[in-house]
Amino acid sequence: MSNIQIDSSKAVSFLSENTIASLEPRVKAAQKALEEGTCPGNDFLGWMHLASETSPELLADIKETANVLRENCDTIVVAGIGGSYLGARAIIEALSNSFQWLINDGKNPVILFAGNNISEDYLSELTLFLKNRKFGVINISKSGTTTETALAFRLLRKQCEEQRGIETARKVIVAITDAKKGAARTTADKEGYKSFIIPDNVGGRFSVLTPVGLLPIACAGFDIEALVKGAADMERACAPSVPFNENPAEQYAATRFALYQAGKKIEILANYQPKLHFMNEWWKQLYGESEGKDGKGIFPAAVDLTTDLHSMGQWIQEGERTVFETVISVENPNANVLFPHDEENLDGLNFLEGKHVDEVNKMAELGTRLAHVDGGVPNLRIVMEKLDEYTIGQLIYFFERGCGISGLLLEVNPFNQPGVEAYKKNMFALLGKPGYENETAAIKARI
């Protein structure tokens, strides 16, 4: 069953008749190549059936590890960057009370994220915050050598050992990394940390349904079985055997590709729930890293609405007409707040009295949609029933599958990221890393 619907009526109206239908053979060919493993990057297709093939033993192991961390920690720091970070954060924030990290209810540990920047201030402030806290660490790095994460982990491990003692530190530090190689693996094996493996055939940005995402999400107290079930159900809903017109991932991929061909080079992902901010960030990495290569690719941008209507709204309404918008619309809120009465009514808003805040939000969404369409911005709408583990699992897989198909329509390898190395090479050369002597001389000559 799919709790996610896609409405492309206000996007296809910008395209010539039959444009989407004419893409069906190409979309089905992309699906076949994904399914049969004949596409570029076919050594990284492990994500496709992860959800339906996740073993109960792995889920039980993750839950048991999460319980050890929850029982022994008031704070858990998740160290990781890019694909080793964004999925967990996106899902935890989407499911959490917006003020969760300020609530000291004793039920759930505070989940913090580190290893995703090289800011001295951030790391210093984190160290200070963790002082006197019973904290644990989940160190996530597929390569095990990423600078941002390795730096944070050095600091966190030292502080954890000093504050909690070596034995306890060994219990509350968990590694999620490669089976054999990299610093994170070597340290985990040497110290006897509990560890999980990131499968070789799953790239970072497609890894949220492995322990990379599932362990932090379980630590935050959420139901990872429901999440995986949602993803597995969406896997079935997006299978190549599902007719083109009924297949959400195929419809999404075909529509955005047609819009790209019609000159819409930027996709703005919009949400109307602040909790989805990091879902936008996760999506940006998924699509940006998968498609932006060989001089091609839709630029993935994102806004939080209605917040950003007061900053970016002008540009979207009247800026260069190279954008289209994809809105994630959550049908039912989890809470219940009515617009209040005010005796003086100075703001003139008493006409809204007694209405659900969500009804006002929905009218803002509809009004914005129509205004943007009038302004020349094609609009796709992804409607999800509610924010719960099952539906979010569906959303995650929907975007992953849509991304695989989209990349193949663009004729790029959606599963590599050669461009990510360029900054690292320059940074290491500038910092004088051994082995980079030639690059150091060359880069210094350019400054």
| Interactions with ligand PA5, residue window 331-360 (CB under 6 A) | none
Which residue in the set 41, 203, 213, 216 belongs to the binding site for ligand PA5 (CB under 6 A)? 203
Cα 233 vs. chain centroid, distance in angstroms? 19
Q: Per DSSP, what are the bridge partners of residue 379?
A: 325
310 is catalytic: yes
Tokens of 311: 């900053």
377 phi-psi bin (left φ>0, alpha ψ -120 to 50, beta other)? beta
The piece of 11-19, 142-150, 154-162, 387-395 that touches ligand PA5 (CB under 6 A) is: 142-150
CB of 150 to ligand PA5, least distance (A): 8
Question: Dihedral, CA atoms, 27, 30, 34, 35, nearest 10 degrees?
Answer: 60
Catalytic residue among 17, 167, 310, 344: 310
Task: Tell whether residue 204 is a contact of ligand PA5 (CB under 6 A).
Answer: yes
Task: Report angle CA 363, 368, 373 to the nearest 5 degrees.
Answer: 130
Nearest distance from residue 208's CB to ligand PA5, in Å? 11
* Residue with the two structure tokens 């260069």: 320
Burial track 367-391 (b if 16+ CB lie within 10 A, e otherwise): ebbeebbeebbbbbbbebeebbbbb
CA dist., res. 298 & res. 269, Å (int): 12
Which candidate, 162, 65, 148, 141, places its Cα nearest to that of 114?
148
Q: Which stretch binds ligand PA5 (CB under 6 A): 27-35, 141-149, 318-326, 403-411?
A: 141-149
* Residue that has been written with the tokens 């491990």 in this structure: 157
Q: How far is the CB of 286 from ligand PA5 (least distance, A)?
A: 8
Q: What single letter denotes the amino acid at residue 167? A: E
Cα angle vertex 400, ends 397, 406, to 5°?
140
Determine the length of the chain.
447
**Judged by CB under 6 A, which stretch of 101-109, 151-159, 197-205, 423-431 contacts ligand PA5?**
197-205
CB 302 within 8 A of CB 394: no
For ligand PA5, which residue of 10, 70, 89, 142 counts as binding (CB under 6 A)?
142
Q: Catalytic one among 235, 267, 289, 325?
A: 289
What is the radius of gyration, based on Cα positions, of the chain? Answer: 23
Q: How far is the CB of 46 from ligand PA5 (least distance, A)?
A: 13
Residues 6+ apart with CB under 8 A from 192: 170
Q: Are 149 and 115 in contact (CB under 8 A)?
A: yes
Query: Contact region for ligand PA5 (CB under 6 A) — 120-128, 143-151, 393-401, 427-435?
Result: 143-151
For ligand PA5, the binding residue among 205, 256, 284, 293 (CB under 6 A) is 205
Residue 143 CB, nearest approach to ligand PA5 (Å): 3
Nearest-5° angle of CA 216, CA 220, CA 226?
A: 85
Binding of residue 139 to ligand PA5 (CB under 6 A):
no
Distance CA 168, CA 163 (A): 9
User: How near is the Cβ of 204 to ligand PA5 at its closest, in Å?
Assistant: 2
Q: Report the residue number, 41 or 83, with the smaller CB distance to ligand PA5.
A: 83
For ligand PA5, what does the binding mask look like between residues 81 and 120, x meaning CB under 6 A? xxxx------------------------------------
Q: For this structure, is 125 an active site residue?
A: no
Residue 82 CB, nearest distance to ligand PA5 (Å)? 2
Q: Which of 42, 75, 100, 143 is close enough to bind ligand PA5 by CB under 6 A?
A: 143
User: Of 96 and 141, which CB lies nearer to ligand PA5 in the complex structure?
Assistant: 141
Binders in 393-422 for ligand PA5, by CB under 6 A: 417
Q: Which residue is nearest to ligand PA5 (CB)?
A: 204
Binding-site member from 2, 116, 146, 251 for ligand PA5 (CB under 6 A): 146
Residues with catalytic roles: 289, 310, 424
Residues that bind ligand PA5 (CB under 6 A): 81-84, 141-143, 146, 149, 203-205, 289, 417
